[in-house]
Structure 1
Amino acid sequence: MERREPSVARQVLLLQVLVVLVLVVTSLALAVVDARRDARATATERAIGVASTLADSPTLVAALSTPEPSATIQPYAERVRADAEVDFITVMSLELIRYSHPDPANIGKPFIGDVGDAPQGRTFTQEYAGKLGPSMRAVVPIRDDDGTVVALVAVGITIVAINRSLRDDLVLIAVSALLVLLAGLLGAWLVSRRLKRQTHGMGEREMTRMYEYYSAVLHAVREGLLLLDQEGRVQLVNDEARRLLVLPENVIGRRFDDLGLAPGLVLAAQGRTTQSDDLYLAGDRLLLVSSAPAAWEGRAVGAVVTLRDHTELRAVTGELDVVRGLTESLRSQTHEAANRLHTIVSLIEMGRAGEAVDFATEELQIAQLLTDRVVGAVGDPVVAALLLGKTSEAVERGIDLTITGELPEGVDVPARDLVTVLGNLVDNAFDAVVERSVRRVGVRLELAGDAVRIVVGDSGPGLSEEDAARALERGWSTKASAGDPGGRGAGRGVGLALVGQVAKSHGGAVSVGRSDLGGAEFAVTLRAARAVSS
């Protein structure tokens, strides 16, 4: 089994602990060295001060002129040594013969150590190991009333005494270093804990692999992908989502509702419930949108939104719906043809052949007349087939469908777009009149210069100005709004969304008004079309 690498948080913790230890130990060592140096410098300054005070003492100067200087100097020096808390005071002649010493046995013996240029009247300091051990000492000249150097005084503080006084300072330094170390370790632990929570305990190679795989998958997936945080800001977006929603480059960190997208799409993306495969119009694209709340270990972190381009598929589906309608119409006509055939056969069996011929001829003439009228008005066979199918459907549903105007062959509008516009508008009109006592739908086809105009009116309840505007706005979403739970046929979002999309792609527009039949009237202008002369 592969051994798991230490997490990034643990590595950072160990590194921080090591850094803290190095810094504290280094600081402690420097503090100790500095304290030791300061202690010796302080001891030297104190020795100089004591020696200078003795050298200026009249008692000491007067004792040097007596036959037995030591008798006066020794007790005097010892009293000063005790009061000044130094380790030794030695008064000596210029020949370095001691007049005083902490050990009286050394009086009269030569001074051990250097005196430097003290005989010449200067103060001399040094660290030297004498009878009492290593010490910091100062040698100061003693002058008479004429200013002549007549003797020397040496004052010293042993290193042992200096270190003994330094010990208290070192304890304080050690306690301070320990507190700093504990504070540093606590800070490192808190940082490591937060980092572990942010990185979910992963190691550096694991995070690198995750980032590389995430980046590869994110850019390779054919669906648009958006991740929003709890405040609705975009935190992640792939190339397909940028393309489908036409997002700017600086979209990361911006609020999703500030990007100028469809209100329905924004509400779906920011919703707190799961939504699957809802249709929304974004610009000139029809998108299939799914959204779901995102959570980590039971904590909500935002929402995941996936987008699929449904534009082409919806257009093909519309054509398929037309084909299904034609199939149903043919099935119904087959049923009616069977009934008529049975009637004709029965008339022949009854010996009424003439009446059978008249009945069959009349049905053929009516069907042919309708076909000739529609085909004559509409040059495109696909559009003509659609209208014939809608005519048959209208007969079955008890709707009076009238088709007026002409749309000659060669109009520079794709048959697919014409089928989308006519099919959706006629279906909406059928839905609007299906529950009315008077069921009338009118289709008018016009060609004026380079513009094709398709007008579909019905005898339904119609739409107020406010409802008409809202019906067009519902093209943003497939669902009825909260203010219109009924969702009338004219207000269905997908059909009108497709119609508006086709009109926009051809430089036209969709308008809603009042029909002469008493209901709503939808007029679509396709300005990009042009008539082609034959």
Structure 2
Amino acid sequence: MLLSLRSFKLKTRMVLILGMMALLQTGLIGFFALAYLSHSLDEQIGQRALHVAKTIASIPEVIEAVENRDSELLQPLTIELANINDARFVVIGDRNGIRLAHPSWKRVGKPMYDDDGDYNEPALLYGKPYIQKATGSLGASVRGKAPIFDSNNENVVGIISVGFMLDTVEEIIDRYRNTLYLVIALSFGLSVLTGLWFASHFKKAIFGLEPEQIGQLFQERNATLESIREGIIAVNNQGNITTFNRAAIETLGLDANTQLTGKPIEEILPDSRLMNVMLSGKPQFDKEIWLQDRNLIVNRLPMHQDNEITGVVSSFRRKDELDLVSRRLTQIQKYADTLRSQSHEYSNKLHTIAGLIQIGATEEALALIGQETLSHQALIQLLVEAVPDPILAGCLLGKYNRAKELGLHLDIDPESSMKAIPDRIPREELVSILGNLIDNALEATLKNQKFEVKLSMTDLGNDLIFEIEDQGAGVPEEQHENIFRKGVTSKQGEGHGFGLHLVTKLLQKLGGTIMLEPGDKAGSRFTVYIPKDR
């Protein structure tokens, strides 16, 4: 049955189910009502027949006529009594069950047993009245039978049988049965109309989807939630949690066995501020907050239905994860810039050498090769001795080539030493700090039409110290504090003002500091201090 119903659409299913329920309920109630009515009518008619029989059995004239076996008196009397009490018949028999009065004279003098198959023992032998339902010569009837006692009320001298025909009962039941059929039809029609209205309203509430589609979407939704690495929590308009994923529990550091569904958000996360979004109805994007002692980037979005806010959904991720992704992307970009610079630089040199060879200037070509080789050998030798860390050395080599590509010179102090970099300092963060400062210095120097950028570094003492000095226009003293804020820049166009801010954030994480002061030859000098031990 269920399989067959699934082949129909939701509206058809609801109409069929409601219709069948209406038929079943009204049918069962009607069957019970008719059975109860039939039993009650039989009992009432039987009690009435018995009452009439007892009344007739107590009439002195009837007692005397029975004792005298006076059928001439009893015959018309019973007919009159039957008419007065609306009974179908009144039959009187003697103590042996032989009829003394009957609606038909032909049956007078014959035993009552021939009529109903009953020996009348309860009344004749034991003197007890009783009710009987039987089919006799006059048809099916309910009979009340009572014993007739003699004038001294000691001995049974006869029996009275008063009958009411059952066709009257059947007529009443048929009338009620027709009414019941009408009620069933009306109930079925009302159920169909109710089913159509409810199905239409319900389909609208579930956006016209079928139950199987909702089940599939529910499974897809659960799979999607668990596959997302961002934590997701949704609450209803009462502030109770309705949705969450495993990433939310892990990101917030909650117990893995915590059951969040149905719990108030204020109880689980008192500082979530989701209810503020519920009240204001305004979404929030990329908000940086502290929650559960974790620095998170949060989005909060109210959910609307019929112009009412039904809940709020929030997605969040740890900020350090986003910073790590950002740093990795920045580092990849720097590696790409380094490779491009080196490729471009060596491409120019190779073209120059090839041109010199073609025009026969072999000595000049050899001199250029020797000069280039000597310059790079000196730089590489310096980096090998002063900066054994390959990641930092590769970054400096790339920046050196980038400077040459721009027509500038990155002067690395030969007295520099950076050999004792602690393992606790992530190399990609160190490269990101140094790379941003060198890039800013190269741009400032190029913009001011100067030539040189200086870099010195030392690991002596308790700190790693880097000094980057440019020959740019310098930074006004009143801007020394603001230059490190996000979005603050002296450059034109969009996409600037993030490098120094990122440097500051990374240094805060490492426990370091940065100082800005005027350079020896104008420009600016940035000094970075990173403690070896926190």
TM range (shorter): 0.5 to 0.7
Paired with 1:515 and 1:7, the residues of 2 have a C-alpha distance of 79
Contact kept? 2:23, 2:187, Cα under 8 Å: no
> Given the alignment, which residue of 475, 478, 486 partners 1:460?
475
Post-superposition offset of 1:33? 3.1
Contact kept? 1:55, 1:140, Cα under 8 Å: yes
Paired with 1:434 and 1:426, the residues of 2 have a C-alpha distance of 12
Once the two structures are superposed, the pairs formed by residues 437-448 of structure 1 within 5 Å of their partners are 445=457, 447=459
Flag the 1:365–1:22 CA change in 2: closer, same or farther, 3 A. closer
Contact kept? 1:383, 1:415, Cα under 8 Å: no
Paired with 2:503 and 2:333, the residues of 1 have a C-alpha distance of 12
The aligned counterpart of 1:151 is: 158
The aligned counterpart of 1:319 is: 335
> Given the alignment, which residue of 287, 291, 305 partners 1:263?
287
Flag the 1:68–1:404 CA change in 2: closer, same or farther, 3 A. farther
Paired with 2:153 and 2:161, the residues of 1 have a C-alpha distance of 19
Q: Secondary structure at the match of 1:286?
A: helix
Aligned length: 460
The aligned counterpart of 2:176 is: 169
Post-superposition offset of 1:154? 0.8
The aligned counterpart of 2:320 is: 284
Paired with 1:268 and 1:155, the residues of 2 have a C-alpha distance of 88
Post-superposition offset of 1:118? 0.4
Paired with 1:521 and 1:281, the residues of 2 have a C-alpha distance of 33
> Given the alignment, which residue of 42, 49, 52 partners 1:50?
52
Flag the 1:228–1:192 CA change in 2: closer, same or farther, 3 A. farther
2:55 is matched by which residue type in structure 1? Answer: T
Instruction: Give me the TM-score of the superposition, normalised by structure 1.
Output: 0.60
Once the two structures are superposed, the pairs formed by residues 248-397 of structure 1 within 5 Å of their partners are 258=272, 263=287, 266-267=298-299, 282-286=318-322, 312=328, 314-324=330-340, 378=387, 380=389, 381-389=393-401
Contact kept? 2:400, 2:410, Cα under 8 Å: no
Uncovered stretches (5+) of structure 1, i.e. residues with no partner: 273-279, 289-308, 338-344, 346-356, 475-479, 481-485, 530-534
1:285 is matched by which residue type in structure 2? Answer: E
Flag the 1:36–1:243 CA change in 2: closer, same or farther, 3 A. closer
The aligned counterpart of 1:422 is: 434
> Given the alignment, which residue of 32, 48, 57 partners 2:34?
32
Post-superposition offset of 1:138? 1.7
Post-superposition offset of 1:409? 3.1
Contact kept? 1:118, 1:124, Cα under 8 Å: yes
Post-superposition offset of 1:158? 1.5
Q: Percent identity?
A: 18
Uncovered stretches (5+) of structure 2, i.e. residues with no partner: 1-5, 275-284, 289-296, 305-315, 354-360, 362-366
1 or 2 for the larger relative contact order (CA 8 Å, sep ≥6)?
A: 1
Instruction: Give me the TM-score of the superposition, normalised by structure 2.
Output: 0.60
Post-superposition offset of 1:137? 1.1
Contact kept? 2:328, 2:428, Cα under 8 Å: no
Flag the 1:69–1:367 CA change in 2: closer, same or farther, 3 A. closer
1:90 is matched by which residue type in structure 2? Answer: V
Paired with 1:107 and 1:93, the residues of 2 have a C-alpha distance of 11
Post-superposition offset of 1:165? 2.2
The aligned counterpart of 1:408 is: 418
1:118 is matched by which residue type in structure 2? Answer: A
Q: What is the RMSD of the two structures over their aligned residues, measured on CA atoms? A: 6.2
Flag the 1:512–1:166 CA change in 2: closer, same or farther, 3 A. farther
Flag the 1:270–1:133 CA change in 2: closer, same or farther, 3 A. closer
Contact kept? 1:512, 1:520, Cα under 8 Å: no
Post-superposition offset of 1:514? 6.4
Post-superposition offset of 1:156? 1.2
Contact kept? 2:512, 2:531, Cα under 8 Å: no
Flag the 1:68–1:512 CA change in 2: closer, same or farther, 3 A. farther
Once the two structures are superposed, the pairs formed by residues 231-246 of structure 1 within 5 Å of their partners are none
Flag the 1:443–1:136 CA change in 2: closer, same or farther, 3 A. farther
The farther-off stretch of 446-455 and 119-128 is 446-455
Contact kept? 2:93, 2:158, Cα under 8 Å: yes
The aligned counterpart of 2:130 is: 124
